[in-house]
Amino acid sequence: MLRAAHARGIDTALLLVVVGLLLIGLPAIYSASYVVEGSGKVIRQLVFAALGGVGLTVLACIDYRIWSRSRRVFYAIILVALLLTLLIAEPINGARSWIGHGALRVQPSEFAKLLLILAFASWLTRIGPAIRTWPVMVKGLLYVGAPVLLVLAQPDFGTAMVLCAIWLVMTMVAGARWWMLLAVVLAGIGLFTLAWHVDLIKPYQKKRLDFIHADPAGNGYHQRQASIAIGSGQFWGKGYRQSSQARRGFLPEQDTDFIYAVIAEEFGFLGSIVVLGLFLFMLFRLISSAEQAETSFGRLILAGVMAMLAVHAVINIGMCLTLLPVTGVPLPFVSYGGSNLVTNLLAIGIALNISRHREPRRAWAGNEALVRL
């Protein structure tokens, strides 16, 4: 039986920061796409936001602990959806990641992130302190490794990185030994290095990953144009809808991968810092809720959601600043994209529900209220 909840008010601050990012993203999408598509993309994004908002509201009202009993169903859905994507998806920009056509296209790997967070949180709660042993650690790696391999087969390196980060943060929060995690990370780096030298990584992927030495007229074109856009914005920016890089078509994927560069050009350093500040505050709220979560299951879900959103933001902004390679990872709540936006809003809905069932701030080791499966 589930114990009685310590119901509190909804985390208004977290909800407001999400709304703030949406209110920044919608005008930015319109500014980045109106020359070619008019208001088409921003209208579709509004529809996605409405659908995600409904889902957020529903999930914020449903006791999150019921999801702990569905981990096998969630995991089966993940594997079937990703396998189906590989079998029937048409290649777009070299990747088989989308199912459907036109505006009805969905990206199953986006929804797989949230389902994996729920399933893995339930699994970690069930095995408890055993995560501090190598056999269980390896089982956890295999648990997340299967979806990662299916995503890499698409290929979608960016999403695979996000899934790996989710595994790392959730396993750490579950109580795994730090030296075991370090050993796994070092082993992963070693395997990647070996794959690079034996040409398991394709030449075009190597060129994309070697962004520091990329030719500005070739593979480095995207980031070169993003750097120009960000630099030309200076402190105050050029003004709304005055992004010459986006309006003249110099900046590729300006409403998705490089939306942050558009914001920086139009609103300058000040606008860039506002976006960063909102993301940092959102992550702070998620961490705060995790510290007060009533159950280990809830705390692990919040850790996974925090990891997912943080890695998305870091990778997207990093590739705009030429600090990371281009991997096609969108900026949460800001970039255009229905699957990503709906997934993120659903994740926030669950986070809001967890924040309603919390205890006063305390040490994590004391008085745990574990979900009984």
Q: What is the pLDDT of residues 141-171, one digit of tens each?
A: 999 999 999 998 888 888 999 999 999 999 9
**Average pLDDT for 229-257:** 83
**Residue 181: which of 193, 192, 195, 169 has the closest Cα?**
169
**Average pLDDT for 89-118:** 84
Q: How confident is the model at residue 3 (pLDDT cuts 50, 70, 90)?
A: very low
The predicted pLDDT at position 226 comes to: 85
Q: How confident is the model at residue 362 (pLDDT cuts 50, 70, 90)?
A: very low
**Average pLDDT for 117-146:** 94
Q: How confident is the model at residue 369 (pLDDT cuts 50, 70, 90)?
A: very low
**CA distances, 302 to each of 122, 166, 291 (Å):** 12, 11, 9
Contacts of residues 187-195 at CB distance under 8 Å and 24 or more positions apart, as own/partner, are 188/164
Do the beta carbons of residue 218 and residue 244 sit within 8 Å?
no
Q: How confident is the model at residue 212 (pLDDT cuts 50, 70, 90)?
A: low
**CA distances, 214 to each of 32, 201, 221, 356 (Å):** 25, 17, 8, 48
Nearby residues of 51 by Cβ (< 8 Å), 6 or more positions away: 338, 342
Q: How confident is the model at residue 254 (pLDDT cuts 50, 70, 90)?
A: confident
Do the beta carbons of residue 272 and residue 8 sit within 8 Å?
no
Q: Concatenated DSSP letters for 227-284?
A: HHHHHHHTTT-S-TT--HHHHTT-STTTTTTTHHHHHHHHHHHHHHHHHHHHHHHHHH
User: 98 pLDDT exceeds 50?
Assistant: yes
Identity of residue 22: L
What percent of the chain is helix, strand and coil (3-state, nearest 5)? Answer: 70, 0, 30
Q: How confident is the model at residue 47 (pLDDT cuts 50, 70, 90)?
A: very high
The predicted pLDDT at position 359 comes to: 63
CA 262 to chain centre: 20
The predicted pLDDT at position 103 comes to: 65
Q: Which residue has the tokens 């900026």?
A: 331
User: 6 pLDDT exceeds 60?
Assistant: no
More confident residue, 32 or 362: 32
**CA distances, 47 to each of 119, 336, 338 (Å):** 28, 12, 9
Q: Which two tokens stand for residue 84?
A: 């189906």
Q: Which of 5-19, 120-134, 200-214 has the lowest mean pLDDT?
A: 200-214
Distance CA 328, CA 353 (A): 30
Distance CA 278, CA 299 (A): 22
Mean pLDDT of the chain: 86
- Span 308-320, pLDDT tens digits: 999 999 999 998 8
The predicted pLDDT at position 211 comes to: 63
Q: Which of 76-90, 193-207, 228-242 has the lowest mean pLDDT?
A: 193-207
Q: How confident is the model at residue 62 (pLDDT cuts 50, 70, 90)?
A: very high
User: 367 pLDDT exceeds 50?
Assistant: no
More confident residue, 237 or 309: 309
The predicted pLDDT at position 205 comes to: 67
Q: Concatenated DSSP letters for 332-373?
A: TTTSS-HHHHHHHHHHHHHHHHHHHBB-SS--TTSS--PPP-
pTM above threshold 0.95: no
